[in-house]
Amino acid sequence: MWRIKNIFFLAVFFLCVCLLNADLIAAIHQINCTLCTNTGYPYLCRTPMGGVACASHMGDTICSAEEGCVCCRSIPGKGCERCDVVDDAIEDDIAL
């Protein structure tokens, strides 16, 4: 009986970990340039867990072991892209 309880507990534990991890990965993809610019940060950064870009000068930040870190940032850094830069091809179409 003790063994069945342990197996059940471990199964529930791993299910919870998997569900929480899925929520975290979904939340990472919710941080985008629109969110960054709406909150006053001109840069969107994607870095590995050990990266420094999401360690300072940042707003919303989410990290996971699988996806690394995603954050909005006020200054440029390695792994960052400026959100308000218009694509040259789009700009050329607008000029026509």
pLDDT band at 21 (very low <50, low <70, confident <90, very high): very low
Give tens-digit pLDDT for 55-64: 888 888 888 8
Looking at per-residue pLDDT, the higher value among 43 and 5 belongs to 43
Classify 64 as helix, strand or coil.
Answer: strand
Upper half-sphere CA count for residue 20 (Cβ side, 13 Å): 9
pLDDT at 13 over 60: no
Q: Are 45 and 73 in contact (CB under 8 A)?
A: yes
How high is the pLDDT of residue 91? 45
pLDDT band at 29 (very low <50, low <70, confident <90, very high): low
